Structure 1
Amino acid sequence: MRKQLKKFVISIVACTTLLVSGLGMSNINAKADISDQDFAQAYDVAQDKLGSSYVYGAVGPNVFDCSGFTSYVYKKALNVQLPRTAQAQYNDSKRVSAKNADKGDLVFFGSSRSNVYHVGIYVGNGKMIDAQNRGVVTENINAPWWNLVGYGKLA
């Protein structure tokens, strides 16, 4: 009986430890506002990947799709874990208007709020860094091939 109780207590402690340590990795570990220093770190990581190739579903470190790129940048720069897809990142972000968007916010594109298929990182002055069919590039947000859905702060 004593051995069973000891095994039970050890099991509970182990499960609790796994659960608590896993929470930071399974949930979005993010901030609502990115500081200038945080943005500078993320921007450095993003710029370092300029010219990397695009492959649908790729998550880095040298080949990306759009949401794989944003996830990689924030994980590497700030240890912030984002959801895997552009739609999930949109769903988990706090919407902001274009005039209230800050450097480091995410920029979302699609046919509607329920069909977001592209994401980039806002870098200011109407530009973003994103991974798309030309690879990782800096480009204008208002381009004829994108339908802007909105901006989001990491939430």
Structure 2
Amino acid sequence: MSSGRLLAVMLVLLIALLGCAGHHKLPDFSSLSDQQTVTTPAQKGVIKTAFSLLGAPYRFGGMTPEGFDCTGFINYVYRHSLGIALPRESHSLILVGKPISGRDLRPADLVYFKIERQKPLHVGIYIGGGKFIHAPSSKGKVNIQSLGLDYWKNRYMGARRII
């Protein structure tokens, strides 16, 4: 076989292999309705408690309004609104509750993201309308973000329903 033909065959095989590579389908959060409402007393309690903490500072390992990390925030909200104790570590927290599709999100569901290799998970609370509340990284405060932002959409791992 000539070197030109061999090169062409190798190129075709390479393209075919690249087409077989795993592709993580990004969720389409644009279909989440702005009309989603909090319907149960449990959901209302979670969302009310989470909103009361808007602006709380970040603190690594923090679990109080004086400072939260992401799992400390989740733990505090669920414990103070419903008396539910959740795991403190993100790798354990992602195993709690029922896995749900991004299309089926309801207020108070937990949403998970992969941020960096060393810290595999970040978690927030879905509040409806395609948005979530969370305690961001070391330079942030508890705030609300849109799941539709490329930053979050590209890092989205899944969601789980606790209540």
Do they fold alike, i.e. is TM over 0.5?
Answer: yes
> What is the CA–CA distance in structure 2 between the aligned matches of 1:139 and 1:78, rounded to whole Å?
24
Aligned pair partner of 1:122 in 123, 126, 144: 126
What is the DSSP-based 3-state SS (H/G/I as helix, E as strand, rest coil) of the residue aligned with 1:40?
helix
Q: Identical aligned pairs, as a percentage?
A: 31
The 8 Å contact of residues 115 and 122 in structure 2, kept in 1 or not, is answered as no
Query: Aligned partners of 2:143 and 2:74: how far apart in 1?
Result: 13
Of the three residues 109, 113, 135, the one matched with 1:109 is 113
Residues 1-155 of structure 1 correspond to what in structure 2 (within 5 A)? Answer: 36-110=40-114, 116-133=120-137, 134-146=140-152, 147-154=155-162
- Alpha-carbon shift at residue 100 of structure 1 (Å): 1.4
Query: How many residues in Structure 1 have an aligned counterpart in Structure 2?
Result: 120
8 Å contact kept, 1:49–1:62: no
Code of the residue aligned with 1:136 in structure 2: it is V
Does the CA-based 8 Å contact 2:123-2:134 persist in structure 1? yes
- Structure 1 residue 35, shift from structure 2 partner: 5.8
Letter of the 1:149 partner, please give it. M
Deviation, structure 1 residue 144? 3.3
1:62: Cα distance to partner?
2.3
CA contact (8 A) 1:57 1:68 kept: yes
Secondary structure class of the residue paired with 1:135: coil
Paired residue type of 1:89: L
Structure 2 vs 1, CA of residues 35 and 82 (structure 1 numbering), >3 Å: closer, same or farther?
A: farther
Gap runs ≥5 in structure 1: 1-33
1:129 match: secondary structure: strand
CA RMSD, aligned part only? 2.1
Checking the alignment, whether the CA contact within 8 Å between 1:126 and 1:140 is kept in structure 2 is yes
Q: Distance in 2 between matches of 1:88 and 1:139?
A: 24
- The alignment's TM-score, normalised by the length of structure 1, stands at 0.71
1:153 counterpart letter in structure 2 = R
Partner AA of 2:59 in structure 1: V
Q: 2:20 is matched with which residue?
A: none
Q: Which runs of 4+ in 1 moved over 6 A?
A: none
Q: Which runs of 5+ in 2 are unaligned?
A: 1-37
Query: Between Structure 1 and Structure 2, whose CA radius of gyration is higher?
Result: 2
